């Protein structure tokens, strides 16, 4: 399949669109000046993302860059429907994610969105193949088919000889590749990844990045990273600072 040109990508409907999204978190409770006067604590709030708009189209890899605390992970979570914005809207294809119940949003993520977390969230009691196949279990895919699909993904990320190993028997980099294979196992329309090469050596990182590039031929991929080589595969790099976009340019 030919890789879409920039002009072709901008004429197709977006996979996901964030429109003026703001996300505010409440962290703990500490007395402010007014609170001290009346003897009551006021919650401290943090605006992790502020008035951000971003459109991601099929066939596009978008890199999110910026220092720690700039809002990259929060923006990823909003795009993936793990969080809903305090203000603004995130639309996945034709659906406003905030309009869905938690159950329907979970189902949409399971079917349509592959997520690679910084913390791998692997189950210690399961083999690498069983961890990768978990989303297919939730979707009701038969045992033989899901084992085959999981094995294929592990082969593609270079873990064909680690299929039966449990997370405790794998290195950090190997666990990360299991998490990446799991994110791809449902053939998602959107893939979001938070520091996907952070635990990998240079050669393995390149192999994983090649897989993301292959996946992005007809899907959308969003990668948050500090790593220059990871960001180098992006078609567009969006730079964040203090929760806002300070620059967005074609790579």
Distances 34 to 27, 38, 39, 40, 44 between C-alpha atoms, Å: 18, 7, 8, 8, 13
- How many Å apart are CA 155 and CA 147, to the nearest integer? 12
Token couple for 9: 């990508």
Strand ranges across the sheet with 42-56: 42-56, 16-30, 87-92, 95-96
3-state secondary structure 96-165: EHHHCCHHHHHHHHHHHEEEECCCCCCCCCCCHHHHHHHHHHHCCCCHHHHHHHHHHHHHHCCCCCCCCC
Q: The whole model's pTM is what?
A: 0.85
Token couple for 148: 């085959």
pLDDT band at 38 (very low <50, low <70, confident <90, very high): low
pLDDT tens readout for residues 86-126: 999 999 998 999 999 999 999 999 999 999 988 899 999 99
Beta carbons within 8 Å of 125's beta carbon, 6+ residues apart: 166
- How many Å apart are CA 129 and CA 142, to the nearest integer? 14
pLDDT tens readout for residues 146-199: 999 999 999 999 999 999 999 999 999 899 999 999 999 999 999 999 999 888
Sign of CA dihedral 201, 206, 207, 209: positive
| Pairing status of strand 60-65 against strand 220-224 | parallel
pLDDT band at 2 (very low <50, low <70, confident <90, very high): very low
What residue segments make up the domains of the chain, in order of their start? 59-83+101-250
**What pLDDT does residue 85 have?**
97
Q: Does domain 59-83+101-250 have CATH number 3.40.50.300?
A: yes
pLDDT band at 33 (very low <50, low <70, confident <90, very high): low
Measured between its terminal Cα atoms, the distance across the chain in Å is: 22
Spatial contact of 15 and 56, defined as CB atoms under 8 Å apart? yes
């Amino acid at each position: 399949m030919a890789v879409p040109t920039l002009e072709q990508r901008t004429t197709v409907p977006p996979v996901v669109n964030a429109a003026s999204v703001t996300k505010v978190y409440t962290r703990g409770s500490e007395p402010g000046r007014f609170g001290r006067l009346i003897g009551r604590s006021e919650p401290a709030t943090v605006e992790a993302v502020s008035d951000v708009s971003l459109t991601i189209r099929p066939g596009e890899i978008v890199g999110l860059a910026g220092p720690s605390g700039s809002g990259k992970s929060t923006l990823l979570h909003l795009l993936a429907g793990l969080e809903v914005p305090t203000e603004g809207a995130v639309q996945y294809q034709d659906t406003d994610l905030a309009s869905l119940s938690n159950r329907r949003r979970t189902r949409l993520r399971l079917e349509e969105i592959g997520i690679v977390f910084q913390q791998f969230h692997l189950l210690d009691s399961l083999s690498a193949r069983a961890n990768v196949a978990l989303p297919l279990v939730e979707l009701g895919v038969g045992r033989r088919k899901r084992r085959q699909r999981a094995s294929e993904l592990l082969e593609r990320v270079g873990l064909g000889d680690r299929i039966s190993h449990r997370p405790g028997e794998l290195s950090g980099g190997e666990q990360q590749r299991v998490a990446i294979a799991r994110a791809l196992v449902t053939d998602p329309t959107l893939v979001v990844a938070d520091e996907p090469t952070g635990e990998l050596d240079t050669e393995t990182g390149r192999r994983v990045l090649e897989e993301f590039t292959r996946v992005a031929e007809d899907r959308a991929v969003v990668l948050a990273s500090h790593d220059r080589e990871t960001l180098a595969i992006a078609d567009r790099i969006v730079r964040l600072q203090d929760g806002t976009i300070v620059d967005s340019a074609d790579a």
